[in-house]
Amino acid sequence: MTPLHVTPKPAHRIDAARVEAAYAAARAAYVARNPGSAAALDRARQVLPGGNTRSSLWSEPFPLCIESGAGCRIRDVDGHEYVDLLGEFTAGIFGHSSPVLARAVADAHARGINLSSHTPYEVALAERLCARFPSMDRVRFANSGTEANLMAVTAARRITGRDRIVVFNGGYHGGFLTFAGGGSPVNVPFDYACLPYNDIAAAEAEFTARGAEIACILVEPMLGAGGCIPGDPAFLQALRRLASAHGAYLIFDEVQTARMSLGGAQARLGIIPDMTTVGKFFGGGLAFGAFGGRAEIMDHFNPARPGALPHAGTFNNNSLTMAAGVAAIDTYLTADALEALYARGEALRATLTALFAARALPFRVTGMGAIMNIHPDSGLGRAGDQKLLALLHLTMQERGYYFAARGLMALSFAVGEAELAGFTAALEQGIGV
């Protein structure tokens, strides 16, 4: 996509009353347009708390109920079709209903599922992952990115004999390792130092004060749920230096950023951690997580070794997931395809930045490659910004474009230039404030 070349205009003043009125109208139109989704939520409330089993999907006045998808499009229970710009929160990089992945799962199923022992599938997937990531000599499988991060952190604590973990405000490493606003009431009760992201001085001060107690640094090369804020290369390199100097492990959570190149963000940045966690799309659309690292770290999980660290899980080597992961890597997650997707995302972000400036729309966009987040910039404070973002979300859904209520977008391979041109044209219409 060719970025717009414009002279930025000064942002017009945003009137809170106009935002409120536009939001109220957009909300009312949404409710009237989606009775099927409202009814689906009412039914779900009878058996699920609030009708929900995944907090990140909730949005006011109620979320859409999606019944099907194909390529880069999804359809809700009321029959509306949307261009899916969310890509299952980065996991849906393949688009919907891939025949290649469906065939891989069916073939594995025909060979027998839950095979009660080691299988060739897990070795094939492990070989591919270790070949991709500079930091992975050995790898272990899990069922989610959450599990992978928990195991990586636990390994670091046990091997180093230290308890403290350095994390960063806004970081998200799974449902039990969430640091938006500094932490979550359901976090695993470890000893955390939650520091400002991209703040080298804060990290240096923490290690100066308590370096001998720190087992590991757990960091995303780009904050994902924290707003798609890329890590400053100098900051990430400083973390590498501090970890090495103090005998701590540097763990890169690449559950999202693994798509940034064949070897993830670490290969693109040239910064090699001690351990890496991945998940999402490496399971070919099925539940998946993995953690890997240097041989001397990962060999603590060798069950033939005295005092080995235990790591169980019935579905860790589920043959369906392993087969889907191999097919996904061999068919879709190639160096050329990932590079093209990265470039398409970079171009879209530049286009959106220029469009917001040219139309004096009160938004900005941050991100890396094909993962990005639109942020409100109303000057009305937090409440006003939230209302403005909700207005944008509802407006763009009415125009046929779907992304997260918090402004997150993650392009899939299936999203093409025509869909992106349509999206920017829809944005150019503005939001009525």
**Catalytic sites, residue numbers:** 172, 253, 280
Give the SS3 label for residue 314. Answer: coil
Angle at the Cα of 338 (from 316 to 397), degrees rounded to 5? 90
Rg (CA), the chain: 22
- DSSP assignment letter at 211: G
Q: 377 in helix, strand or coil?
A: coil
- Rounded CA-CA distance 410/187 in Å is 26
Question: How far apart are alpha carbons 97 and 418 in whole angstroms?
Answer: 20
CA distance 112 to 122: 14
Give 289's strand partners.
Answer: 142, 279
Quick one: which of 101, 386, 135 has its CA closest to 240? 135
Beta-bridge partner residues of 56: none
Query: What are 82's strand-pairing partners?
Result: 74
Q: Do the Cβ atoms of 262 and 270 come closer than 8 Å?
A: no
What gap in Å lies between CA 204 and CA 200, rounded to an integer?
A: 6
Cis bond upstream, residue 63 (ω within 30): no
Question: Measured at the alpha carbon of residue 221, what is the angle toward residues 216 and 225, in degrees to the nearest 5?
Answer: 100
Nearest alpha carbon to residue 214 among 274, 140, 163: 163
Give the strand pairing for 249-253 and 214-219.
Answer: parallel
> Helix, strand or coil for residue 312?
coil
